[in-house]
Amino acid sequence: MAEKYIVTPWDVSGDVDYKRLMKEFGIKEIDSKLLKRIKKTAGELHPFLKRKIFFVHRDLKWILDEYEKGNKFFLYTGRAPSGHTHLGHLVPWMFTKWLQEKFGVELWFQFPDEEKFLFKDNLTLKDTENYTKENMLDIIALGFDSKKTKFLIDTKNADLMYKEALKVAKKITFSNVKSAFGMTNDVNIGSIFYTAMQAVPAFLPSVLAGKNIPCLIPHAVDQDPHFRLSRDVVGKIGYYKPASIQCRFLPALQGSTGKMSASAQETAIYTIDDEKTVKKKINKYAFSGGRDTVEEHRRLGGRPEIDVAYQWLNFFEYDDKKLKKIYEDYKSGKLLSGELKKVLIEKLNKMLKKHQAAREKAKSKIDKFLIK
Amino acid sequence: MAEKYIVTPWDVSGDVDYKRLMKEFGIKEIDSKLLKRIKKTAGELHPFLKRKIFFVHRDLKWILDEYEKGNKFFLYTGRAPSGHTHLGHLVPWMFTKWLQEKFGVELWFQFPDEEKFLFKDNLTLKDTENYTKENMLDIIALGFDSKKTKFLIDTKNADLMYKEALKVAKKITFSNVKSAFGMTNDVNIGSIFYTAMQAVPAFLPSVLAGKNIPCLIPHAVDQDPHFRLSRDVVGKIGYYKPASIQCRFLPALQGSTGKMSASAQETAIYTIDDEKTVKKKINKYAFSGGRDTVEEHRRLGGRPEIDVAYQWLNFFEYDDKKLKKIYEDYKSGKLLSGELKKVLIEKLNKMLKKHQAAREKAKSKIDKFLIK
């Protein structure tokens, strides 16, 4: 179980040991007491909370304390555009949408369109600009409230952001980024500076409002090093340290528990994939926890804990009863691997059909989300 | 003569050996042939050229070649606001004004209002914002053509600049800035990134015009490491490498041949100093090349080559005949040190009276120079 894994904002690979990661990063588990509190305040628990997909946090208790005192927080999350949106990207955004709805709060959605340009040799700013537009459609399609959601694009909104990033940058040395991200002297100076830009949305709304507003960042656990580095700095320059609520990665189709990679086409399903592509990818690539023969499967049962189709249903089939039945039937051998895949394919295609229709409508809505 | 000296964009001290600096930096002397060509094209030579105050260059011949072919260059210079303007600052700007007038070209004047904030612990962005406004008045007072001059303020115009800086930053590593500026791992990440922002005005006009325009940067020699680093990069991303024409430093009142320091009040004369202050500072602090007694001075003569009052007249008394007479009278012992100082005091106060009146009028003109 002590396999090698890497989790940095730019590289997630190997069999991620989440328990060890919690210790290394210094992030806390969302325990049953905290879950109860969220349920009380939100009126319900999102399946991602019940299923421990969102499983760790920083200062979430404080965010709820303030909220209950009437001091609302704002949400901050983001997407570094470098390709089309896949299902793994949707996970934190779906959850963010739920938070916005249940708590009635503002969301600042950052598009750091320079990040992947700086970290990937072959990506141009023209590329990231195009993907920014594409990714925006997926975000709008999830149903965020345009009156309460602002898109912050680093290169376009630099007149608001660069000055604030400088305040953060002045308090972070090269030694600091070296130890946080494992950078060497050969990295470019843009990528060294970048973490300061990622810190900005955590306090920019406070700057613009002229008052201190708590910030909650829902994000996948690989982004924690950025905020670990900037939390103290944001505190030092006079704003609340941002709190966070963090999720696991949707497993890649091939079944590592690492993050899906947008660069390896066959490991991910994209929001723009059509029904046939979804069917083909799942049938061909989804790692199966079934047995070698039908006979053996009936006798020994499937292994949902390593079966990607089941893992994905754990993310996307919100109906607890349905999911439980699938688990039991698969575990008992009643449900075959191909049948399980069929359940997933139908679920995803239904979900994507709805998403793609909303995505089409989103094309006329982008303007409402931009900062003028 | 092999005294220790330091010349970096942030620190100039000691007895600068300009010959050695030329070798170290790889910059070329402006020889008599090049001077003749400038005279032919401009119609005259500025005293700063005749007196070798502007004494070195990069690619100036190419700039003149292109100009003669009808391919006009634009000028780029700047001021990192961190205090009030002193006479040493005026030197490259006065020359830039002359270039604009004689060649009829555009000037992009950068106010990198983040630079000194990043490099000086106690300076806030509020401070640099205030000094930006103060410094603008001095620049406008010199008579730049508002129709051909644009002020570029890094934090305010980041929407234009940050994206372009990224293209430069992607091609410069931490190792590169380490060797160019002698940076250590303890410097902040903003100061590491900064050189990319300083490169932007060298090609931004080309970006905005959608065509490649040659760039000539008049600047004091201490800024060369920035452009040495960015020239190749600007070339690599598809624009002309910027050319430069570089000047020596106006000596500090105390007489080192280093740069005047805005932080040591008594070494500099500010554009806002009143007549009495100018008189007091020159009489009290200006290093004298006179002798210990009047009798000795009459017999041995003064030493203009180490006398700061004379050195300053070499910068600010444009009348060659007058200057020659002062030199000879001082050298022969006819003119006493106190008398020489009086000549300088009168010259400067006359110059500053005119400047201060223009500076007052400049207050209503700032808007014309800003980028909308």
Task: Look at residue A201 and tell me if it is in a domain.
Answer: yes
Domain that holds residue B316: 273-360
ipTM: 0.92
Chains A, B: CB pairs < 8 Å: 120
Same domain, A238 and A278: no
Classify A238 in phi/psi space as left (phi over 0), alpha (psi -120 to 50) or beta.
left
Q: Is B122 on the interface with A (CB under 8 A)?
A: no
Question: Any bridge partners for residue A12, and if so which?
Answer: A7
The span from the CA of B143 to the CA of B139, in Å, is 8
pLDDT digits (tens, 9 = 90+) for B121-153: 999 999 999 999 999 999 999 999 999 999 999
**Cβ-defined contact of B185 to A162 (cutoff 8 Å):** no
- Selection from B36, B74, B34 nearest residue B58 by Cα: B34
- Residue B224's pLDDT is 94
**Whether the Cβ atoms of residue A102 and residue A285 lie closer than 8 Å to each other:** no
Tokens 């890497």 sit at which residue? A6
- Selection from B315, B309, B318 nearest residue B341 by Cα: B309
How many other CB atoms are there within 10 angstroms of residue B324's CB atom? 10
pLDDT digits (tens, 9 = 90+) for B78-97: 999 999 999 999 999 999 99
Q: Is B120 on the interface with A (CB under 8 A)?
A: no
Mean local confidence (pLDDT), B42-47:
97
Residue of B nearest to A128 (CA): B163
Among residues A219, A254, A289, which one ends one of the domains?
Answer: A254
**Cβ-defined contact of B166 to A118 (cutoff 8 Å):** yes
Strands A11-14 and A5-8: antiparallel
Same domain, A31 and A80: yes
Mean local confidence (pLDDT), B191-206:
98
Same domain, B9 and B131: yes
Q: Is B236 on the interface with A (CB under 8 A)?
A: no
Same domain, A83 and A231: yes
- Residue A259's pLDDT is 63
Those residues with Cβ within 8 angstroms of residue B293's Cβ, 6 or more apart along the chain or in another chain: none
Q: How many residues can be counted in chain B?
A: 372
How many other CB atoms are there within 10 angstroms of residue A125's CB atom? 17
Please compute, for residue B10, the number of CA atoms within 13 A of its CA located in the half-sphere on the CB side: 13
| CB nearest to B174's CB, from A154, A185, A196 | A185
- Residue B260's pLDDT is 62
The span from the CA of B215 to the CA of B263, in Å, is 31
Q: Is B32 on the interface with A (CB under 8 A)?
A: no
**Whether the Cβ atoms of residue A281 and residue A253 lie closer than 8 Å to each other:** yes
The pLDDT confidence band at residue A258, using thresholds 50, 70 and 90, is low
Contacts of B158 in chain A (CB under 8 A): 158-159, 161-163
**Whether the Cβ atoms of residue A131 and residue A84 lie closer than 8 Å to each other:** yes
Same domain, A116 and A170: yes
pLDDT higher than 60, residue A210: yes
CA separation (Å) from B284 to B309, B340, B343?
12, 13, 15
* Predicted structure pTM score: 0.93
Task: Look at residue B292 and tell me if it is in a domain.
Answer: yes
Q: Which two tokens stand for residue B63?
A: 């700039």
- Selection from A59, A60, A46, A153 nearest residue A101 by Cα: A46
Chain centre to alpha carbon of residue B366: 21
**Host H or E run for residue B104:** none
Number of domains in chain A: 2
Q: Is A188 on the interface with B (CB under 8 A)?
A: yes
- Residue A329's pLDDT is 98
CATH number of the domain encompassing residue B218: 3.40.50.620
pLDDT higher than 70, residue B261: no
Same domain, B296 and B163: no
CATH number of the domain encompassing residue A321: 1.10.240.10
- Selection from B194, B236, B240 nearest residue B215 by Cα: B240
Helix, strand, coil percentages in chain B from 3-state DSSP, rounded to 5:
55, 10, 35
Same domain, B163 and B20: yes
Indicate the residue type of B239. Y
What average pLDDT does chain B have?
Answer: 94
Same domain, A12 and A142: yes
Indicate the residue type of B122. N
Contacts of B165 in chain A (CB under 8 A): 190
Secondary structure in 3-state letters for A2-17? CCCEEEECCEEEECCC
- Residue B1's pLDDT is 39
The span from the CA of A268 to the CA of A86, in Å, is 6
